[in-house]
Structure 1
Amino acid sequence: MLNQKDLEAFNILGEFCGQRDIPELTTAALQQKYKISQADVFVLFGGSILYGVDILVKAIQNKVAKKYLIVGGYGHTTATLQQTVAHQYPDLQTSDMQEADLFAALLKKRFNLQADYLETKSTNCGNNITYLLDLLKQKHIDFQSIILAQDATMQKRMSACLDKYVSADVKIINFATYQNHLTIKNHEITFTKDIPGMWTPERYMKLLMGEIPRLTDNTDGYGPQGKNFISHVDIPEKVRQTYLFLNDKHPQINRPSNNLYSS
């Protein structure tokens, strides 16, 4: 049984993984931190919850980038996303849609907006990035700054993956599609914020627990010393100890990698 101390531990993992480098998606925030009024590219990744569309809309309305892309084919979160969209928007035929197509359909239906380009073939964080870079090259889009918006549980890994492929002078700007905290209300585990399309607490915790081993730069992780999928990530000792505490106490809450979506 999880208690409030356990949930506070999960919140430490969530704050670490769900990185936001600016407090809000505005030109003023970009100017203050990076001395730019617009990023060259804004990317929403399909692994996010549905609220990612709202984040993309804010980006478009606030003109924070020159080009807007949605990236995502069929991965480990797609079936859940399809079911959620089908439940909320039964008139949309979601069964054959890839993640980017789903988000684009919602963007059009809810806000009558569209992204500049979609990438619909990628299945994991690694080829989310490599296919994105291929698309940018194909469309002759040069960039020195790029905003990444991914599910909070996977934001840190997505950024580290892009960092592996671009030069050090490219500004990678993180803006996780949500920030939320677990708590207990009426003897049930829930979230402090009611965010549309939010994972169940159980799924959210499992996603977080799966990230720390992936981000850890050792022989089992995704960093240069392991599978070399991402650049090195510094994991603070507090985060490492928090993960070890949770893994020891609740070993059933973890998410091993799924070879079905490897490339």
Structure 2
Amino acid sequence: MTESTPAETTIGRYLARRDVLPERVDIIVLMGSAVLESVEVAAQLHHATAARILISGGIGHSTHHLDTAVRRRGLTVAVGRPESHVFRDVLTTQFDVPAAALQVEDQSTNCGDNAAFTRRLIDEPAALVLIQDPTMQRRTHASFARSFADLPGTQLISHAPVLPWIGPEFVSAGPDHPEIWGLPRFRSLVLGEIRRLHDDEHGYGPRGRNFIDHVDIPALVLAAYAELATAHPHLIRPAGA
């Protein structure tokens, strides 16, 4: 049996950015991922606000994990397709969201694409609620800030669908919720995200690949990253992996 540490909780909660939801929501931007909880949260927000949902996601590195999650939960939705198509069908068949309220972008393969391709579909400033895999929520927000910098008046609100609960073997939305990630995979994901957020030659900031603007990572999070990286060096992969 493996055991989680406070470091994992510290990093997971930091990455799962959750802003205060505004009174007005114009568009819910739902990013494709393997986290089906994202779909439920987007549906709840749609029913509460009547905002349309723009689903962004093609076939990427998490698609096979999404297919596994769909099968594990016994959903009667076809897999092996762009993540946005799977999410669209779950929204309409499981959560009573009308197809007319949905818009699909199915070419993006990473969160940078999610932001850039979504920007092409939005012409006027709006209040956008961004819903993403919690491990990628903070980087996604930074990507959208970069892509929407040329549209003043746009409001970006991050709303991670879950705050990761770290169990002894897996990570979920809570002790009585289904598994989202196995613990080793979660560790690998969060280590990779902090590495990407770093503004150095290995990261995605201006001093590295210049995909996002500079992100100030709190000292507590950096300390947790160092602790986790030291304990699990085999899980650290290059920033672009």
Q: Which residue of 1 aligns with 2:89?
A: 105
Asked whether the equivalents of residues 51 and 177 of structure 1 are also in contact (C-alpha less than 8 Å), the reply is yes
For 1:189 and 1:117, the matched residues in 2 are separated by 33
1:20 correspondence with 2:4:
no
Q: Which residue of 2 aligns with 1:165?
A: 147
Q: What SS class does the counterpart of residue 36 from structure 2 fall into?
A: coil
Counterpart AA for 2:191: M
Provide the aligned length of Structure 1 versus Structure 2. Answer: 236
| Per-residue deviation, 1:220 | 1.1
**1:101-133: CA deviations, max 9, x gaps?**
000111111123134201100001111111111
Change (3 A) 1:48 1:156: farther
| Per-residue deviation, 1:2 | 5.0
When structure 1 is superposed on structure 2, of 112-121 and 146-155 the one drifting more is 112-121
For 1:190 and 1:39, the matched residues in 2 are separated by 30
Counterpart AA for 1:21: D
Q: What SS class does the counterpart of residue 159 from structure 1 fall into?
A: helix
Q: Which residue of 2 aligns with 1:9?
A: 7
Q: Which residue of 2 aligns with 1:220?
A: 202
| Per-residue deviation, 1:84 | 2.0
Structure 2 portions without partners, runs of 5+: none
Identity of aligned residues (%): 32
What is the TM-score normalised by the length of structure 1? Answer: 0.82
Structure 1 portions without partners, runs of 5+: 23-28, 31-36
Q: Which residue of 1 aligns with 2:30?
A: 44
- What is the 5 A alignment of 1:52-201? 52-63=38-49, 66-89=51-74, 91-95=76-80, 97-113=81-97, 114=99, 115-137=101-123, 142-167=124-149, 169-184=153-168, 188=169, 192-196=174-178, 198-201=180-183
Asked whether the equivalents of residues 48 and 150 of structure 1 are also in contact (C-alpha less than 8 Å), the reply is no
What is the TM-score normalised by the length of structure 2? Answer: 0.89
| Per-residue deviation, 1:234 | 0.6
Asked whether the equivalents of residues 44 and 149 of structure 1 are also in contact (C-alpha less than 8 Å), the reply is yes
Change (3 A) 1:193 1:179: farther
Counterpart AA for 1:101: H
Asked whether the equivalents of residues 207 and 255 of structure 1 are also in contact (C-alpha less than 8 Å), the reply is no
Asked whether the equivalents of residues 218 and 226 of structure 1 are also in contact (C-alpha less than 8 Å), the reply is yes
| Per-residue deviation, 1:196 | 4.2
Poorly superposed stretches of 4+, deviation over 6 Å? none
Q: What SS class does the counterpart of residue 238 from structure 1 fall into?
A: helix
For 2:189 and 2:33, the matched residues in 1 are separated by 11
Q: What SS class does the counterpart of residue 55 from structure 1 fall into?
A: helix
